[in-house]
Chains A and B, each alone.
Chain A
Amino acid sequence: MWKWLHPYADPERAYKLSGTLFPWFATLACLFITIGTVWGLLFAPTDYQQGDSYRIIFIHVPAASMSMAAYMGMATAAFIGLVWQIKLADWAAASIAPIGAVITFIALFTGAAWGKPMWGTWWVWDARLTSELVLLFLYLGVISLYASFEDKVLAARAAGILAIVGVINIPIIKYSVEWWSSLHQPSTIKITSKSTMSSEMLYPLLINILGFGLMIGAITIVRFRAEILARNGMRPWVRELAKAEEVK
């Protein structure tokens, strides 16, 4: 397997491969998010307790679950970069961080906009909300550590260690609603047993979760490719691309 995988650790091949993958991610992401959002806003039934305010769920839950998934992706890439010294993995981790930060902010903000009419408050310092806020700070920490060193090998190592240590926060977010009493409701989507949610609401939600995942993938590819170019400015193939861009 390593023999087969190894050529892809070459920056130029990674740049080209991610370029061919991008349209698939982008198209599917647009498709899923459009279907999920239109279905959720227009066709999903009104909740008998929360009325139409619950429709925030179709962006809140995808953003929140993907903020954690993106963090795991970033930490995995950082781990690979640290252990096997694969620079491409470091660059991938650096490309995910800003996207994760935006998604986490969206999860927090939509949560607040949902909390105000339902709980009567924008914010409470309970376990779920606070640990998600810590996730945002972890992302911001990784971004600023990576940005503060001129030497990007060193920068990736520093940011990578923070990303890996921060993984401890993920199970805390996930199980916070079970470990501590919280205003936040426990999860309604269950993998092992039947979800406590009508399928009419569940399907658009699942479609949007998938759509958010694909969208994060697509934006990661875009940033990853720019990062490859920025880190390989001395290579002839990048210089050719730069020349072509200058002519334009």
Chain B
Amino acid sequence: MQFDSISDFFNMGGYAFYVWLAYGVTFFCLSTLIITSARQKRKVLIEIAKKMDREERLKETRSTKS
């Protein structure tokens, strides 16, 4: 362990602002990327399901008309 105490660790030898800014922004960017990527699949599938419903309704109206 390079640091004597927790406050010493957070202080980063006086470079706290720069070190935690870099780590914080990295963490924020990566988590945003991971969350949006993980939600993509569900979004795509719901879209396809909606399209299927529309096709189904179109078929029904066609068959009742004729």
Contacts of A151 in B (CB 8 A): none
- In the complex, how many residue pairs between chain A and chain B have their CB atoms under 8 Å apart? 107
Q: Is the interface of A mostly helix, strand, loop or mixed?
A: helix
In the assembled complex, the Cα of A223 lies from the Cα of B40 at a distance in Å of: 7
Partner of B15, one of A44, A51, A238, A245: A51
CB of A99 within 8 A of CB of B33, answer: yes
CB of A239 within 8 A of CB of B40, answer: no
Beta-carbon contacts under 8 Å, A59-79 to B = 59-60, 63
Q: Is the interface of B mostly helix, strand, loop or mixed?
A: helix
In the assembled complex, the Cα of A167 lies from the Cα of B25 at a distance in Å of: 28
Partner of A242, one of B19, B33, B52: B52
Partner of A230, one of B23, B33, B44, B52: B44
Given A42-B3, A102-B29, A102-B33: A233 in contact with B51 (beta carbons within 8 A)? yes
Given A42-B9, A52-B19: A229 in contact with B33 (beta carbons within 8 A)? no
Contacts of B40 in A (CB 8 A): 222-223, 226
The size class of the interface chain B forms with chain A is 20 to 34
Partner of B22, one of A51, A110, A238, A245: A110
In the assembled complex, the Cα of A52 lies from the Cα of B17 at a distance in Å of: 11
CB of A45 within 8 A of CB of B33, answer: no
Interface-side segment among A6-14, A112-120, A125-133, A182-190: A112-120
User: Which residues of chain B have a CB within 8 Å of any CB of chain A?
Assistant: 1-3, 9, 12-15, 18-19, 21-23, 25-26, 29-30, 33-34, 37-38, 40-49, 51-52
User: Which residues of chain A have a CB within 8 Å of any CB of chain B?
Assistant: 41-46, 51-53, 55-56, 59-60, 63, 98-99, 102, 105-106, 109-110, 113-114, 116-117, 215, 219, 222-223, 225-226, 229-230, 233, 238-239, 241-243, 245-246
Known contacts A113-B19, A225-B41, then 12 further A-B pairs from the complex at CB < 8 Å, ordered by chain A residue? A41-B9, A51-B13, A106-B26, A222-B40, A223-B37, A223-B40, A226-B37, A230-B47, A242-B45, A242-B48, A245-B46, A245-B49
26 cross-chain CB contacts under 8 A: A41-B9, A42-B3, A46-B2, A46-B13, A51-B15, A52-B15, A52-B19, A53-B12, A53-B15, A59-B26, A102-B29, A105-B29, A106-B29, A109-B22, A109-B26, A113-B21, A219-B33, A219-B34, A222-B40, A233-B51, A239-B48, A242-B49, A243-B52, A245-B42, A245-B49, A246-B49
